[in-house]
Amino acid sequence: MARITRLPSQAIIDGYKGTLDFYVCMGIPCVRKWPTSPGHIRSEAVMQQWPIFTLAAQLWRQLSESARQPFVEMAMSTNLTARDVFTKSYISGMFSWYTAPDDLPPDGP
């Protein structure tokens, strides 16, 4: 990342699409190399986190509309979605009382 004095015109930004990424961070114009995917290989630590995200996604789909409503209300004052709030709450252990149904993977918390 590099700080720049001001963002260039949209035509210049469009010309660098795929090469440079221009953005504003906390009011400061910046430029960086265009973000790229790390590929298909993931670290062991990243792969170990997948089961809990899988379980959280399955549990979100099982929630009734009335059970989702508190998460919708919590998300209103943030830049998160209701599903994001639920997932974050689940992963943080807020729902440690929950026991996964038999048809879900046992790898949950």
Same domain as 52, residue 16: no
Same domain as 57, residue 29: no
Task: Share the mean pLDDT of the chain.
Answer: 85
Domain-located, residue 69: yes
Q: Which domain holds residue 66?
A: 44-91
Residues facing residue 29 across a β-bridge: 24
Q: For 67-71, 76-80, 100-104, which range has the lowest pLDDT when averaged over its residues?
A: 100-104
Domain-located, residue 11: yes
- pLDDT reading at 91 higher than 90: no
Q: What is the DSSP letter of 34?
A: P
Domain-located, residue 106: no
Domain-located, residue 98: no
Q: Whole-angstrom Cα distance, residue 65 to residue 49?
A: 27
In this prediction, residues 39-64 reach a mean pLDDT of 90
Domain-located, residue 107: no
- Output the pTM of the full model: 0.53
> What's the number of domains the chain is made of?
2
The two tokens of residue 17 are 């699409």
Q: Give the Å distances, CA to CA, from 14 to 2, 9, 37, 53, 61.
A: 18, 9, 20, 36, 39
pLDDT band for 109, please (50, 70, 90 cuts).
Answer: very low
Same domain as 72, residue 48: yes
